[in-house]
Chain A
């Protein structure tokens, strides 16, 4: 038996299957791809489910034979979801209400990160502890007084309600962005700065001409993540903007109600009642802009770690 295993062909077969020192075996690769595909499916399945359900006509929904392949291309759900979501308006609001705070948040976070990374001063550990605290403290522990103050100032429903905290470095998940900038500025060689200082450049000038250009990837990554998180944030957005502005996720969260306002259940026939296909169309329309953005900018998400030099501390 053993001499068969030592035969050159058996040896090569073994190396092919189980791999050797320099390469991975076929078996390993099969297992690897099987797992990758299985996990990939776990992530894609809800999206696929959402997309396919959104294409189903009322007949397909009732037909138990139709699971994964709708019998016809049916866009009626999208037509309705589009109207219920008031799509162009809410889309524009969502874009504005995620880009404006994100821009401010990114700029302010970079200033704070720079201050923490490049200057020695008393109390830095305290600042870091407080940063961590802002990340941990649940929003419902601070939101009520803020809301009441905004109400007194007449700022509820006003874009400023989201913009002001971002402007003062207290935007959504701002601690993470400050740490990203801290990480990327701390790896900047001090020599550049010192030579600029000798040339008489002011601190602001050094920041703008040396630090900012060198941390450009960090700016882009921070801005993109900030936009995504602001877009998806609904707890604070609902409380601050309710009654004034309506973002896409806000409208989605009251989809049923909005649908019944447009199509009162008593007056439309049974096929025009709200069903899961319409809901899934609405959900899909809600994430579509993010999906488009993700596929265009995917490199910045996927390689964000390498680009910003986050080290995981």
Chain B
């Protein structure tokens, strides 16, 4: 008891508060070290080695950056898949953002059967999982029905330069799929919309601003934070999605005799770097845009 009292008197109120705070998050720090930090370091270590796993042990032989150069310069598929992933992500993000924003604007209005439409629009949150999406895509239920097969469209596509054709083709074949990734984003936009002070609209209406002007001058600037959050969320979700081609390739290589854990780890880190780069670019542009529209 005296010890405790001494201890209590010995440290300031401020330090006690901090200690209690640490006590609450301690479990997370332990978890982070064991389940995220340590495996991350270990994966990086593997990526610098040729790893062979036997029933009882793991054998490493140091190859420096050999796995990385192999992935970047020798692997016939990896770079192509990586480019495909980059294009798909850059095409999908604006579509998801615009689409989610439009739906959120709709759901922020008052109209009949609103509840019914809300239930339908949030369905993707519940259903979007790898195997389900794979089955639906395989049966052709995920593409905009038949558009990509129309002769006129096929003609149009062959006229386009290759750099443009891939994104447009992807857009046509996976349009519905892209829309299925916008459930949570709608929720986030809706939250931001509901925070806008109603009196601003009224003041704008009295000043004679049309709905169109209100959107560009009031609504869009106040959605800038939500847009950044949504962009990050979309990129991360698309990049982690288990049907993602790059992830499938890495996963296959893990168990491959030719590839192995070391090689897969190196690819995982290259993929991670590309993803960070994409996040960085999109984040940079959106922050620039938010600054400009905020003024």
Contacts and interface: CB of A to CB of B under 8 A. Distances in A.
A and B together in one complex: yes
Interface in B79-123: 103, 106, 109, 111, 115, 117-123
Interface in A145-177: 145-146, 148, 164-165, 167-170
B132 interface: yes
Nearest to B46: A144
A231 interface: yes
A121 interface: yes
What secondary structure prevails in chain B residues at the interface with A? helix
A40 B14 contact: no
Interface of A: 21, 29, 32-33, 35-36, 39-40, 42-47, 49-50, 53, 108, 111-112, 114-116, 118-122, 127, 130, 133-146, 148, 164-165, 167-170, 178, 203, 225, 228, 231-235, 249, 252-253, 255, 276, 279-280, 282-283, 286-287, 290-291, 293-295, 298, 301-302, 304-306, 310-313
A50 B123 CA distance: 15
Contacts of A21: 205
Given A118-B21, A169-B32, A312 B124 contact: no
Contact of B24 (A112, A255, A279, A280): A112
A110 B81 CA distance: 39
A141 B268 contact: yes
Interface string B15-43: 00111111111011111101110111011
Given A39-B103, A119-B20, A45 B129 contact: no
Given A42-B179, A144-B43, A203 B135 contact: no
5 contacts: A36-B106, A144-B39, A252-B131, A283-B132, A310-B191
Contacts of B187: 304-305
A114 B39 contact: no
Given A45-B176, A120-B14, A287-B126, A142 B135 contact: no
Interface of B: 14, 17-25, 27-32, 34-36, 38-40, 42-43, 46, 53, 58, 103, 106, 109, 111, 115, 117-132, 134-136, 138-139, 141-142, 145, 176, 179-180, 187-188, 190-192, 194-195, 205, 225-226, 229, 232, 236, 239-240, 242, 247, 250-251, 254, 261, 264-265, 268-269, 271-272, 275-276, 279
Given A49-B141, A120-B21, A170-B36, A139 B131 contact: no
Contacts of B192: 311-312
Given A138-B268, A279-B139, A287-B127, A36 B28 contact: no
Given A46-B142, A137-B36, A232-B130, 19 more contacts: A111-B25, A116-B24, A120-B14, A120-B18, A121-B17, A121-B21, A127-B28, A136-B276, A141-B43, A145-B38, A165-B35, A169-B31, A287-B132, A293-B126, A294-B126, A301-B125, A305-B190, A310-B188, A313-B225
B24 A114 contact: yes
A29 B128 contact: no
